[in-house]
A and B are shown apart, each in its own frame.
Chain A
Amino acid sequence: MMKEREQKGLPRYGRRFLFLGLGFVLVFLGSFLLGRYAVSMSTTLRILSTWLLEKLSFGALRMEGSWTELEAAVVLNIRLPRILCAALVGAALSAAGASYQGMFRNPMVSPDLMGASTGAGFGASLAILLGFSYFGIMVTAFCFGLGAVLLAWLVSRFSRLNATLALVLAGVMISSLFSACTSFVKLVADTQEQLPAITYWLMGSLSSVKGEDTAFAAIPILLGLIPLLLLRWRMNLLTVSEAEARSMGLNTGRLRLAVILCATLVTAASVAVSGMIGWVGLVIPHFCRMLFGYDYRRLVPASVLMGGAFLMLVDDIARVITTSELPLGILTSFVGAPVFLYLIVQGGAEREH
């Protein structure tokens, strides 16, 4: 009986992972073909592989290409950073969302629950008000995102309420405090230049992402994602009650802190580089649960792949749909809300059986 299930069970998910991985690669490569300046797939592939080889050999290997300098610049300096950034941000937000949903035992939770996004949003608004460079805005946003969650966590430590409840309440309060601060910044901002800049930034976009921005965001995102991937089986235990988890030998406080730290790191970095992009962290983990089940061992890697592919796709739509790019936050909501409504109706139907 055991044999039977293993043969039936594992390959089923294995095949789905294969499809998901393939989809991710296809979306990644396909994204290079979009844009006003046409570069063929074969040229793109050759430029990318040469660039990769040079990077991997630390410049020891140099190859002459058959492409123009302009083509190389478009692929390597404009498209690659942006596509990579979309993949990273999508992966980060989905993985953080999946982790938070388990930790708070609530599938309706998104990664901004603890204030990382609103904190980062305020940081960015403030930086725009003070006239910082794009890079400066990003760093400020990142620091404020981390700061907001740190504040929520500290407040919860002093509370005598149950640990998760205290975290949620503190997070929601800190979040609303920071969004009030953002409103205040908007109020005093110069309406000609700064206010539109703040508003546009808050709606989320990857249109001005450059190589250095992607590199800056990649470090905290990878620093957060790797531990989440390593701890993925343990995370299952955060979904059962505190008493049960502890009785099974888990140091719940330590694991929760590690998950918050990682999820915050990736969320703050994502918001810092891309602005506010809602829905990804909420909807993608749901889809992954439908396809890969509830076990975090599969849910985290699935969320990483699907989230990355999804945001690359949405960013592609943002790039081509109008000449003046649509903000990502609006697009993800347009896609996310109907999908979520569908899920609500479906979920209701499921329960009636």
Chain B
Amino acid sequence: MSIEARNLFFSYGGADVLKDLSFFAEAGELVAVLGPNGVGKSTFFGCLLGFLHPRTGEVLAEGKPIRGMSPRELASLIAYIPQYAPQTFNYTVLDLVTMGMTNQIPIFSSPKPEHRRRAMEALESLGIAHLADRGSGSISGGERQLALLARALVQDARVLIMDEPTANLDYGNSFRVMQRVQELGARGYTVIFSTHEPNQAFRYATRVLALLDGGVLADGPPDTALTEELLRRLYGVGVAVRSAEVEGESFRLSIPYEKGGKPQ
């Protein structure tokens, strides 16, 4: 399913945080959103999810404006996977995933066996069915991210918005989570994720959206869009981009680097 932002302007009352931001993504695309801290990534996601209303401009899902849609309707189109954060209540993984079906369960009723079965299927499709009865607070950060991913899948939305999916995850868990995210792209989901690591964009994204000062600095496939010059402008540090070959497959890598610069 496609998602589109048209000429978004947004302000929290003062100066504009988003300035004329336009963007379009189709089914199967994996879009990495890059940009320095405070550039408006969260605001942009807020607008895509319908939490924040742009001053002018609009967001369209499958060509229909999301403004004015009910929360339930919106939830069937776009799902949100938050950053890893500790939680107060230790729900089982299965219960956590079942919550994703809120938009399909009438207000005064509870999940039926069929809902639990669907939650199990989602867990199986992500390879974590064995965690169903574990407390979601006592599994690893990577496993919890996958559980949240399963929760987004049962919501039946085809656009997934992920806020730094690998924040606070270790090296191995980051890789495992992102592999699953990549598979979802192949399954036809539209995935939009923010990241602070250009190498993740190179490694997993089919497209990069680089934001600076509330506008789009670059938009395109990572290999052509993420140049040394662009990364330097984005982050204010020197960056070298190189290629490396692993078992015949070519990967691009970015390395922060200042000419003649030495660590202090």
Contacts and interface: CB of A to CB of B under 8 A. Distances in A.
Given A243-B49, A248-B75, A1 B129 contact: yes
B40 interface: no
Interface string A219-241: 00000000000111110110111
Nearest to B136: A294
A225 B73 CA distance: 30
A46 interface: no
Nearest to B90: A294
Interface-central residue, A231, A234, A248, by most chain B CB under 10 Å: A248
Contact of B71 (A233, A249, A293): A249
Interface residues of B, number: 41
Interface in B52-80: 70-76, 78-80
Contact of A249 (B85, B91, B103, B151): B103
Interface-central residue, B80, B111, B132, by most chain A CB under 10 Å: B80
Interface stretch (A100-108, A181-189, A210-218, A321-329): A100-108
B220 interface: no
Contacts of A293: 92, 95
A298 B107 CA distance: 16
Could you say which interface size class chain A belongs to? 20 to 34
A188 to B, nearest CB: 43
A2 interface: yes
B111 A233 contact: yes
A236 B91 contact: yes
Interface string A235-256: 0110111011011111100000
8 contacts: A107-B88, A234-B107, A239-B87, A244-B82, A247-B49, A248-B102, A248-B103, A294-B92
Interface of B: 49, 51, 70-76, 78-80, 82, 85, 87-92, 95, 99-100, 102-103, 105, 107-111, 113, 116-117, 120, 129, 132-133, 151, 155, 161
- A-B interface, 4 closest residue pairs, ranked by CB to CB distance from nearest: A249-B75, A249-B103, A247-B80, A233-B110
